[in-house]
Structure 1
Amino acid sequence: LSNLQTLYLYHNHLQELPTEIGKLSNLRVLDLGQNKLKQLPTEIANLSSLQTLYLYHNHLQELPTEIGKLSNLQALDLRHNQLQELPTEIGSLHNLKDLKLDKNQLSILPPKIGNLGNLKVLVLNRNQLKELPTEIANLSNLQTLHLYHNHLQELPTEIGSLHNLKDLRLDENQLSILPSKIGNLSNLKMLVLNRNKLKELPVQIGKLNNLERFHFDIRRNHLRMLPASIEKLTDLNILPDNNPWLSRNDLELISTDLLARHAYQQLPHSLRSLCTYYIQNHSDQFTSSELALLPENLGQEEERIKLLREKCQWNIIYFKQICGNEIPLYLTYQLCTPGDVKSMLTEFEPSLNGKKIYIFPPQNKEESKQNVTSKRQKTNKGRQLVKVL
C-alpha cells in the first residue's frame, strides 16, 4: 500500500496503531477519529506527505515530539482527547492552517505556537487555559480564535496584532478587563464575551468598524456603563435574543443605534439608572427609529436624559410617548416632521393620557427631502413641529 493517499479508520475500536503505518509515505489524509487510541507511534513522523490528520474523540494524553516532522500537515484535529500539554515541536508545523483542540485538559500553550505563521483557525474551547502566550501575536494569518470555557483572567495586549482575525470567542472565562489594543482588530466580525467578569469595555471597541455580531451578556458580567464609542459600530446587526442590554436596572448609558437596528419599540422600566441616552443618525440615510415609549422614571429630572443628535438633517427619531409631568426643554428642538401634525395625531388622541410629544417620520425618501428643503426655506417662520397635550 505504498501508494495509498487516503485512509479512513474513524469510528472503530482501535487502541493502538502498528509501527508499519510509517511506511505509507504517500499518505495525505489519515482519519483516526472516534477510536480508543492512547498514544501514537513515533513512526508517524515518516508520513512526510501527510496533509490532514484527524484524531478527534480518542484517549490521547500526549503527542510524540516527532509530530513536528509532519512538515506538510495543514489540518490537525485533536478535539475531545485528554491532552494536558502540547510538545514544543508543534511549532515546526509551518504549513498548518487549521488546529482544533477543543475539550482537552490544556492549561498552557507553548510559546512556539507563535511559529505557526500560516495558521488560520485555532480552536481551544473547553480547556483549562489561564493565560495566552504573548507569541500569539505572531499568528498574523489567524482568522478564527475560539477560547470559550477556559480560565482566562486577562488577554495579552499583543492580541491586538491579529489584524486578520474575524471571529473571536471569549465567553465563559474570568476576564475582568479587555486590553485597549482589542480596538486594532479592524477585520473582526464576531465578538463573544458572555459570562465573564467584565467591569467595563474599552472605548477602543468603537474602532471595530466591521463588527457584525456582538454577544455580550450584561447579566453575566459586571458592566454598568457602555462606552459611547459603541454607537460607531454601524454594521452591528445581531445581538442575543431577549437582549440583555436592556435587562440591567443599573445600566447608565445606552445608544439608540443599538435599539433601532434591533426593532426595539420601547425602553423597559428596569432602566432606572439610565442617565445618558445617545441618538445618532446620519444624513445620508433615510430611516426612522420607531422607539415608542420611554418609562415614567426617565426624563423627570432636567438633564437626566441627554438626547444628542448629530448630522441629523433627514433622519427622524420617532417618539410616541414621553412620560412624566413636564416635557424637558431639550426635547423641544431639533425635531422635524412632514405634513399636518394635527391630522396625524387624530387617530391617537383617544388613548392619550398626560403630556406627550409626538414626532412623526416621513412616509418616504422623497417626502423627507421635500421636508428638509421646506424647513430650510421657512427657518424663521412659525411652524408646528410638536404637539404637547
Structure 2
Amino acid sequence: MYSAVRAGSLLFVLGLLYMVSSAVVWDETQDCPIAKIYCHCVNQFEIDCSGRNLSRIPYSGYTTWSYRVIDLRNNQITRLSKSDFNNINVSEILLDNNYISSIENDTFQNLRNDLRLLDLEHNQLTYLPPELGTLGKLEFLDLRENNIPSIGFNDMIMRQMGDYMRKFYFGHMQLDEWPLSIRHFQQLRQLELYGGIMSQLPVSAFQGFEWTITDLSIRNTKLISVPIALQDLHNVETFHFDDNTLVGDAGILAPAFAGMVKSVKTLTLENDSLTDFPDILLTLQTVQSLSLARNKLEFVSDASVRKIASPNLTNLNLEECDLDRIPGALSQLTSLLELDLSKNRIHTIERNDLQQLYKMLTLSFNNNPVAYVSNSSFGDLFSLQRLEMRNTNLILVPEAIRNMPHLQMVDFSGPTPVIECNCQHMIWLYNHLLSNNRLIVQGECETIAVSIQDYARVRVPQYCNP
C-alpha cells in the first residue's frame, strides 16, 4: 500500500514537471521575432539574417525579446537609418561584409546602454559616425577594411567611446597615418591594426593604454620593422605580428620587445620574410606558444633552436617554412607538447628524427611529400596522442606507429586515397589495434572502397588469417 502511494506521488510529480517544462520550451515558429522569410532564430540567443541579400534591416514587430545577437553579415545593406533598430533589443550586432557608407544619428537610440559589440568590418565608411559616440557601453568595435583616414577618427567621438572600449580593430590598405585619438581608449585590452601603407608607427602610438593592453595584433602592413612604440607596453600576453613582408630579419628590433619580456606567452611572427629564428627569442623566456609559419627558414641550425630552448615553450609552429628535412636541433626542445611541420618539403622521417621529445602530444606532417617512414622512427614519442599525416605520398601505413604506446589518433586522409590495403601489409595493423583498442586510424584505402580502420579491424580477420 505504502509503495503504491509513493509510486503514485512520483508519477504525479513527474507529470507536473513535464507540463511545466513543456510550457517553457522555446518554439522558433512562435518566438522568433523577425519574419522567417528574412531570418531564422538559431536558438534563444541569436537571430541569423546573414547572406540573405538584404538591402535594409528587417522590421521586427516585437517590442521586447531575450535575444542577444543579430547576425546581418554578408548582405547588401548600404546605410543604417534612425528607425532600423527601434524594436531590436540586442547586445551584439554583426554587420561585417556589407556596403554601409553612413549611419544616421539616433540609429541606436534604444540600444545606447545595451550594445556591447558592433562589427562593421569590410564596409564603406570613410569617417567615424557621430552616432557611435552615443554608445556608452560599447566594449568591442571592429572597423577593419573601412577606408577611414587618420583624421576620420574624430577625437571627440573616440573620447566618448573611451570609458568602456575593451577591444578595437581597425585599418585598411590605404591607411597612411596612425590615428592618435586611440589614446582615449584607456581601458583597452585588445587592439588590432590590419593594413596600412605606413612604414613606421609613432613612438607614442600606444600612449594611454600602456598598462592595460594584453592582446596586440599588427597584420598585413607595410611596416619595415617591429614598432619601437611596443617598448611601452608592459602586460602584453599575446602578440601577433604577421604578414608584414617588408620586415625581414633586420626588422625584428630587440628594444621594441623590452616591455613584454616578462609577460608575453603567445608570439606569432608569420610571413615576415624571416630566414632565421630572431635573436630576441633568447630573452623572451616566458613564451609558451611560438609560430614562425610561412617564413622561408630552409635550414634550422642548433644555434637557431637554442634561442627558443626554454622550458616554457610548449607549442611550435613551423608550417610552410620551406624545410626539406626535420631539423635535428628540435631535440633540444624537450618541453614541446605540439609541433606543426605541415606544408614543408619533408620527404622522409628517419630513425634519428624527433629524439628526446618525450612530452609531445600532437605532431603534424600534413601536406608534405613524405614517402618513407623508418620502422625505427618515433621511438622517443612516448606521450604522443595525435599524429597528422594528411595528404602525403605515403602508400603504406608506417609500422613505426607501434613505437608510440599512447597514440590515440593517426590521420592519413587526403583528397585522393593512396594507402594500399592488403593482407600482406595490414596484418600487423590488425594485431596492433587489438593491443591498442583506443587507436583510431583515419583515411581511406586506395585499393578498395573501405576505410583503413575498417579494413584492419574487419576485413583482415575475415580474409587474411592473421
Q: TM-score range by the shorter chain?
A: 0.5 to 0.7
- 1:159-183 per-residue CA deviation (whole Å, 9 max, x = no partner) reads 4423333332212113356252544
1:172 pairs with one of 317, 320, 332: 320
Partner Cα distance (2:288, 2:168) in 1: 25
Q: For residue 196 of structure 1, report the CA deviation from its aligned partner.
A: 3.9
Q: Scaled by the length of structure 2, what TM-score is found?
A: 0.49
Partner Cα distance (1:4, 1:20) in 2: 18
Q: Does 1:112 align with 2:226?
A: no
1:153 pairs with one of 298, 304, 315: 298
Partner Cα distance (2:166, 2:363) in 1: 36
Q: For residue 290 of structure 1, report the CA deviation from its aligned partner.
A: 11
Report the residue type matching 2:272 in the other structure. Answer: N
Match of 1:239 in 2: 388
Unpaired stretches in structure 1, ≥5 consecutive residues? 292-316, 322-343, 353-357, 360-389
Partner Cα distance (2:190, 2:288) in 1: 19
Change over 3 Å in CA distance of 1:33–1:138 after alignment to 2: same
- 1:277-310 per-residue CA deviation (whole Å, 9 max, x = no partner) reads 99x98xxx6659999xxxxxxxxxxxxxxxxxxx
Partner Cα distance (1:213, 1:195) in 2: 17
SS at match of 2:244: coil
Change over 3 Å in CA distance of 1:223–1:58 after alignment to 2: farther
Change over 3 Å in CA distance of 1:220–1:195 after alignment to 2: farther
The number of residues matched between the two structures is 292
Taking the TM superposition and a 5 Å limit, the aligned residue runs for 1:116-195 are 116=260, 117-155=262-300, 156-176=304-324, 178-195=327-344
Change over 3 Å in CA distance of 1:126–1:288 after alignment to 2: closer
RMSD: 4.9
1:14 pairs with one of 119, 132, 148: 148
Partner Cα distance (2:376, 2:203) in 1: 47
2:226 pairs with one of 66, 86, 90: 86
Partner Cα distance (1:27, 1:4) in 2: 6
SS at match of 1:238: strand
SS at match of 1:180: helix
Greater RCO between the two (CA within 8 Å, min separation 6)? 1
SS at match of 1:127: coil
SS at match of 2:306: helix
Percent of residue pairs bearing the same amino acid type: 15
Partner Cα distance (1:228, 1:188) in 2: 18
- 1:130-155 per-residue CA deviation (whole Å, 9 max, x = no partner) reads 12223313323323222221122344
Q: For residue 80 of structure 1, report the CA deviation from its aligned partner.
A: 2.5
Change over 3 Å in CA distance of 1:59–1:190 after alignment to 2: same
SS at match of 1:205: coil
Match of 1:29 in 2: 166
Change over 3 Å in CA distance of 1:207–1:97 after alignment to 2: same
Change over 3 Å in CA distance of 1:263–1:178 after alignment to 2: closer
SS at match of 1:100: strand
Report the residue type matching 1:33 in the other structure. Answer: F
Match of 2:67 in 1: none
Partner Cα distance (1:217, 1:290) in 2: 17
Partner Cα distance (2:354, 2:269) in 1: 24
Match of 1:364 in 2: none
